[in-house]
Structure 1
Amino acid sequence: MQEKVACTNWKRVMIVLSQNLKAPDGAPYLDPLDIPLTMIHNSTLHKTFNKLWMRFGRYSRPLMHHKLKNYTKFLFVRDPFVRLISAFRDKFVKPDEYFYNMYGSVMLRRYANISEPPDSVKEAFAEGIRLSFTHFIKYLLDPQTEEEKPFNEHWQQMYRLCHPCQIEYDFIGKLETLDEDTEHLLKILGLDNYIHFPPGYENRTALDWEQEWFANISVADRRKLYRLYETDFRLFEYDKPETLLDE
């Protein structure tokens, strides 16, 4: 599932549809909003290609090809720059120990001139040490970043994460029109009378926040960032952010 594009709610819906996860009373969850967040993001509960490979070995590839040919395949996308803002807000503005240890402390050392960042995000926040959006953008633009390891899925380019040129998706929706698109998709799947997609949340990162978030990013870096995500802008028909790039 595409991270930062209503992924949590789609996981909720999939859990309800699978009926594999049981509530405390022993019955399958019927309402997506009843499912605890700890279960939604517990990777051990979800079927992935890696698990398919572990179970079926060399037979997993033809099985996956069969699924790709016969199952309904859908993808939800989001304005690439807004998705980056959302990823930063979710993983670095809030205290997230994993993302601090894996990425935040690295960014603080490289771009904030902090040679020895605190050992934990709790300590860092207590000392007033916060990663800035500027540091995050410098990390994305630094060639050293991907030389060391691929982008994390929360900021990986959508075309590289979901391979729309290799997979013939039956439906591509957008987060900006999430309510209408999910309603239409559930009708296509014949599930509109069985389940309702959870409503969008008020704290969703808005498109009109771009100007504020990119205020401290140089125009040169904005243009580099656009080139880094240009394929996503073009492939999924998002307007080029001219006001950010032409200042």
Structure 2
Amino acid sequence: MTKSQLFRLSVALGSVFMILLIIVYWDSVGTAHLYLHTSLTKPFSPPVLPISAQNEEKPALSDIDEFLDMFFNLTLTQNGQVNTKTDQPLLQTSSKPISGSLEESMRGYDWSSRDTKGKPDQEKVQAERKRTLRQFCANSSFTFPWKERSFDDIPNRELDHLIVDDRHGIIYCYVPKVACTNWKRVMIVLSESLSDQGIPYHDPLNIPRKQVHNKSTHLTFNKFWQRYGKFSRHLMKIKLKKYTKFLFVRDPFVRLISAFRSKFELENEEFYRSFAVPMLKLYSNHTNVPSSVGEAFSVGMKPSFGDFIQYLLDPLTEKERPFNEHWRQAYRLCHPCQIEYDFVGKLETLDEDAVQLLTLLGVDTLVRFPPSYRNKTASSWEEDWFARIPLYWRQQLYKLYEADFVLFGYPKPENLLQD
């Protein structure tokens, strides 16, 4: 054997050895969660996006990103063969939802059919929503906190709303009070991250609400550091480049009303102790506040909507800790100026958006989006809810949530902000 042959052989053996080391590393930190080379799952194949979306430029990756990108694709095959497991066909959904909580039982579901005729062209709607996002993210004259930071500057703890489904190549950023319970259920069905007696759920409405909101149920970006160490950010970037990313938003003021209704007008021990008690003491001047929500409700002691608005506007609130996710601004939860979303849904057009999104994701034959709630908080309620809120408070509240109004194309509520 010549020296050149020996050299080539040593290089080849060295390369094989390095690949084996990498594979051992992946296996030790939980490769099953990446679904890169398990024989039990379907390999991810990116869905075909509309032509307009295909032509959009994607951010460039660094050399290490390119290497991990290559490795990501390489490990989708075993011995040159791609896994060919197929997903289960769509099962018939249950005739009625489970009674998972007082909130769901009280609100109920709307099972009536939806007439989608005469609706605007959905691709044009999506193009406009994404154009609005890009326009204001690039507009230097429109500023808001943390707008200019890069994706790498976002702390891991602020990436806990980005749920990843590696089986279908999907990333969902959930915004509480925007149908997130049912979208989480859909993600559980698709990722098969939860099962009942060893059988993965196929009907979203069969998944108990408590398990839906259990943080251990979902693989989120903020868990990557624990599993993938120093490679975590590189993997996030690769997934952001390859996967289809979506979020759903809602009129910011209506979302606040909905949050207040569900967390402070219903008996919720956690929210009572953490938020209602301080509100009652600080803004309603109550000195003897009951220690439990049951006792408080029995004597009619609840924070008012005005107390809630004062709490949001109080500078001391965020000095103590960030806003709770139920009233934290959507841009702070989903970072739309750092992450380029492929689909921006709205609660106001939930039915048609859900149909369009599941088709875009290529999973419309696997799962249906559950029926929407019957008595959602309506936009028409805004004037009634804000009638007793002083004008100056309303104006300050708008400033606090202005970025959500502008970025997601919601009109400024002039009727609430003027005498």
Q: TM-score, normalised by structure 1?
A: 0.96
Cα deviation for residue 50 of structure 1 reads: 3.1
Q: Which whole-Å CA distance do the structure 1 matches of 2:294 and 2:219 have between them?
A: 32
Describe the superposition over 1:165-213 as per-residue Cα deviations: whole angstroms up to 9, x where unpaired.
0001111111100011111111111111221101111121110011111
Residue range with higher mean Cα deviation, 93-102 or 39-48: 39-48
1:224 aligns with 2:396: yes
Cα deviation for residue 37 of structure 1 reads: 1.2
Q: Which whole-Å CA distance do the structure 1 matches of 2:221 and 2:289 have between them?
A: 36
Q: Which whole-Å CA distance do the structure 1 matches of 2:402 and 2:316 have between them?
A: 20
Match of 1:15 in 2: 188
Match of 1:135 in 2: 307
Q: Which whole-Å CA distance do the structure 2 matches of 1:20 and 1:222 have between them?
A: 42
Describe the superposition over 1:15-72 as per-residue Cα deviations: whole angstroms up to 9, x where unpaired.
1111231124x32111111111121111221222332222222222211111111111
Describe the superposition over 1:53-97 as per-residue Cα deviations: whole angstroms up to 9, x where unpaired.
222222222111111111111111100000000110111111111
Matched to 1:125, the amino acid is F
Residue range with higher mean Cα deviation, 44-53 or 177-186: 44-53
Describe the superposition over 1:80-127 as per-residue Cα deviations: whole angstroms up to 9, x where unpaired.
000000110111111111111111111111101012421111111122
Matched to 2:412, the amino acid is K
1:193 aligns with 2:365: yes
Counterparts in 2 of 1:105-120, with a 5 A limit? 105-120=277-292
200, 205, 225: which one aligns with 2:377: 205
Q: Secondary structure at the match of 2:350?
A: helix
Q: Which whole-Å CA distance do the structure 2 matches of 1:46 and 1:123 have between them?
A: 35
Matched to 1:27, the amino acid is I
Q: Which whole-Å CA distance do the structure 2 matches of 1:54 and 1:170 have between them?
A: 27
Q: Which whole-Å CA distance do the structure 1 matches of 2:407 and 2:274 have between them?
A: 30
Higher helix share: 1
The structure number with the bigger radius of gyration is 2
Identity over aligned pairs, percent: 61
Q: Which whole-Å CA distance do the structure 2 matches of 1:15 and 1:180 have between them?
A: 21
Matched to 2:216, the amino acid is T
324, 327, 330: which one aligns with 1:152: 324
**What is the total number of aligned residue pairs between the two structures?**
246
150, 162, 176: which one aligns with 1:3: 176
Counterparts in 2 of 1:44-193, with a 5 A limit? 44-193=216-365
Cα deviation for residue 243 of structure 1 reads: 1.3
3, 22, 30: which one aligns with 2:202: 30
CA-based RMSD: 1.2
Q: Which whole-Å CA distance do the structure 1 matches of 2:364 and 2:398 have between them?
A: 37
Q: Which whole-Å CA distance do the structure 2 matches of 1:100 and 1:57 have between them?
A: 38
Cα deviation for residue 231 of structure 1 reads: 1.1
Q: Which whole-Å CA distance do the structure 2 matches of 1:38 and 1:158 have between them?
A: 23
Q: Secondary structure at the match of 2:387?
A: coil
Query: Which 5+ residue runs of structure 1 have no aligned equivalent?
Result: none
Q: Which whole-Å CA distance do the structure 1 matches of 2:345 and 2:298 have between them?
A: 41
Q: Which whole-Å CA distance do the structure 1 matches of 2:340 and 2:407 have between them?
A: 14
Q: Which whole-Å CA distance do the structure 2 matches of 1:57 and 1:114 have between them?
A: 49
Greater than 3 Å deviation, 4+ residue runs: none
Q: Which whole-Å CA distance do the structure 2 matches of 1:91 and 1:52 have between them?
A: 31
